[in-house]
Chain A
Amino acid sequence: MNYTNGYRDPGIAGQLADRIRRISRRKVRLMEVCGTHTVSIFRSGIRSLLPDTVTLISGPGCPVCVTDQRDMDAFIALAGFDDVIVATFGDLMRVPGTHSSLLKERAKGSDIRIVYSPLDAITIATENPYKRVVFPGVGFETTAPTIAATLNLARDRGIHNFFVYSAHKLVPPALTALMALPEIHLDGFMLPGHVSVIIGAGAYRPFVARHSIPAVIAGFEPTDILLAIAMLVEQIESGASHLENAYSRVVSEAGNPKALALLADVFEVNHAAWRGLGVIADSGLKLRKSYEAFDAEQAFDLVIPESFDPAGCACGDILTGRKLPSGCPLFGKICTPEHPVGPCMVSTEGTCAAYYRYDNDSGAF
């Protein structure tokens, strides 16, 4: 049996779906925090297997989507320097800033390259000694350790033309901020597996205790997700509200010590601006003083035109579960993956893109 196919087994999936249908009485709203969950749920057709009582709401777990407009504008401004090569992950290319996008800037002549690993950006820097290579640092605790490792390497090798603009974000503070928002009616959280591999299950315990809300750490294969939904429904039906780990094959209580040590070495916790959630204390990562030579915010005189979110775009409400994509007047009409207005329609992991691509009840058809 192939490793992943085991977690896509129709028999096991069917049993889990049956169990959810059998035990679910109350109407519940469960938030999958992570964009990878959102996509996996859609791609595997999980919604079509769930009873009407269970509603899945997508949360603020697509790193591209929660990137503040001002940070996007900063990436675009960096691409405008004649001596700059922007080396970026692919998902940022189409995200609209206030006036442009990296894709449009590339079409106009800026040197913007898609990389598959931040280490590739180091290679570009080495091959282009007279250019300055900037890597837009977007992502959660999952992505940040590889950026930290890259910065570590850049320092060891004495590379002087590589910079990171850190817009990294932390998941637990965002969950707390989410619970403080008005009009949030959530009965449970499906917590992000990849992030949890790094930070460990223990990182959520204070949050779950403070808010007395059921929470289950979930993997990304269809049966992982169905298992987590079944565990959440069981907790809710029995009146329990605690943290469970349905992804224990890779998520430990304490997380990955090596990755956490790397993060602590390179970054310090800082406030960060999130699309849809605003500025959240201690929810971001900025480069420590010992790495300031690599900090794009320090190294460049960035002039960023006034940033504002696109008119009528409901990405903020969608990221926080207050609206479904179909509740946005632009969705599927003015805002499509070909002509995205907001980031949730751009990223593969964006909620609007997922509804648009996979859902036939979203009103887009």
Chain B
Amino acid sequence: MKPDKILLDHGSGGAMSHQLVIQTLLPAFDNPLLSTLHDGAVIDIGNGSRLAFSTDSFVVDPIFFPGGSIGDLAVNGTVNDLAMCGAEPAYLSVGLILEEGFPFSDFERVISDMKAAALAAGVMIVTGDTKVVPKGAADKIFINTTGLGYIQPGIDVGPSRVVSGDRIILSGTMADHGMTILSRRENLSFSGPVQSDTAALNHLVKKMLQICPDIHMLRDPTRGGVGTTLNEVAGSAAFGIQIDEAHLPVKGAVAGMCELLGLDPLYVANEGKFLAFIPSNETNAVLKILQSDPLGKDAVIIGEVVADHPGQVVMKTRIGGSRMVRMLTGEQLPRIC
């Protein structure tokens, strides 16, 4: 059924976003690079050289929050999308859409955050564009970044490589970013010491690829969270995914907020975490490398790829039962009781 208007759910990163891509965007722009539905396109530029190419837009409200700002997110988001293609991010473009009346000091603060994030990630912002729209036509500042990165020979990270038996590593705790934004946006008086996990993951991914060039796939579970990302991977594949609830890492304060609001951390956004699908015999080496890095210190194996229940994500619950994990359907909304 086609809705007659775009709803916020179309941007939630869940099932409706997925439908928008599959039913409207993919048929319109159809080509083999796009249809892989990876975090970025991998372009063969001849002589065996490959580039990863990705774009992302940032409209977060509030623009400043504990742990970062829209500026950090805009750099890290695209850097991470490139890293998830197995690439070493190199160049970014920046498109700025500014609302008339946006305080100049805030603008400078965002730009300064972008500068610092680019430096930390080791990327150069090499081209850009700025537009100003009348008050009310945008909300303070919207940022688009597009990035290019190199893929080293021998690296092939992508959905088609996932096979039954792969172990699934989550690089750290879930839901930190989403709950931080929610608590700030809604001024939740009961929020604990939560902070966004926004970070560039490219250096960590590079270290991991040096140890294990055969990593099968990488994904950053941003909007829609770990639950939705795993479903995108299982999707129409010939394998299923099995995860273990007892191993899912969530910080205490974040878990508490989720409980109070009736939200499932499996579906809350992350901005500095990835899911890695690793050949089982390489798992320990990869885990060791990850855990030795501050960004991966909480990395754990959360599950594996299985031959059973193809296309489905099934979770062994903490008390020893089992249940389905489906794609997020619409934004999670706080419940009545």
Contact = CB atoms under 8 A, between A and B. Distances in A.
A356 B337 contact: no
Interface string A102-138: 0110011000001010000000000000000000001
Interface string B308-323: 0100101111111111
Interface in B247-265: 252, 259, 261-262, 264
Interface stretch (A71-79, A183-191, A335-343): A335-343
A358 B267 CA distance: 14
B334 A45 contact: no
B15 A348 contact: no
A320 interface: no
Contact of B319 (A64, A116, A222, A359): A222
A45 B319 contact: yes
A47 interface: yes
A44 interface: yes
B19 interface: yes
A49 interface: yes
Given A8-B319, A360-B312, A360-B323, 14 more contacts: A10-B320, A17-B320, A44-B319, A49-B319, A64-B336, A89-B336, A90-B334, A91-B333, A139-B337, A143-B337, A222-B317, A222-B318, A334-B1, A348-B262
A304 B16 CA distance: 30
**Highest count of chain A CB atoms <10 Å: which of B7, B315, B321:** B321
Interface in A1-35: 2, 4, 8-10, 13-14, 17
A108 B3 CA distance: 13
A42 interface: yes
Given A36-B337, A90-B335, A337 B330 contact: yes
Interface residues of B, number: 39
B324 A63 contact: no
B10 to A, nearest CB: 10
A348 B318 contact: no
A107 B11 CA distance: 13
B247 to A, nearest CB: 13
B20 to A, nearest CB: 11
B5 to A, nearest CB: 5
Interface of B: 1, 5-9, 15-16, 19, 186, 188, 246, 252, 259, 261-262, 264, 309, 312, 314-324, 326, 329-330, 332-337
Contact of B335 (A17, A46, A103, A348): A348
A142 interface: yes
A114 B319 contact: no
Given A108-B5, A360-B309, A114 B320 contact: no
A92 B333 CA distance: 9
The 8 closest A-B pairs by CB, nearest first: A45-B321, A90-B333, A337-B329, A13-B319, A45-B317, A48-B321, A45-B323, A90-B334
Contacts of B15: 337-338
12 contacts: A13-B319, A44-B318, A45-B321, A47-B321, A49-B320, A90-B335, A108-B5, A226-B319, A337-B329, A337-B330, A358-B323, A360-B323
A347 B335 CA distance: 8
Interface string A170-202: 000000000000000000000000100000000
Contacts of A194: 337
Contact of A338 (B9, B314, B317, B320): B9
Given A43-B317, A222-B318, A223-B319, A63 B336 contact: yes
Contacts of A143: 336-337
Interface residues of A, number: 54
Contacts of B319: 8-10, 13-14, 44-46, 49, 222-223, 226
A360 B309 CA distance: 10
A357 B314 CA distance: 11
A93 interface: yes
Nearest to A361: B324
A94 interface: yes
B137 to A, nearest CB: 16
Contacts of B332: 348
A208 to B, nearest CB: 23
B329 A93 contact: no
Contacts of A114: 333-334
Contacts of B309: 360
Contacts of B324: 357-360, 365
Nearest to B337: A142
Contact of B336 (A13, A45, A91, A337): A91
A138 B317 contact: no
A104 B5 contact: yes
B159 to A, nearest CB: 21
A107 B261 contact: no
Interface string A84-96: 0000011111100
A337 to B, nearest CB: 3
A356 B330 CA distance: 14
Contacts of B8: 103, 107
Contacts of B6: 107
A140 interface: yes
A78 B261 CA distance: 26
A334 B333 CA distance: 22
A192 to B, nearest CB: 9
A108 B7 CA distance: 10
A349 interface: yes
Nearest to A225: B319
Nearest to A2: B252
Interface string A320-353: 0000000000000010111100000001110000
Nearest to A16: B319
Nearest to B1: A339
Contacts of B329: 336-338, 357
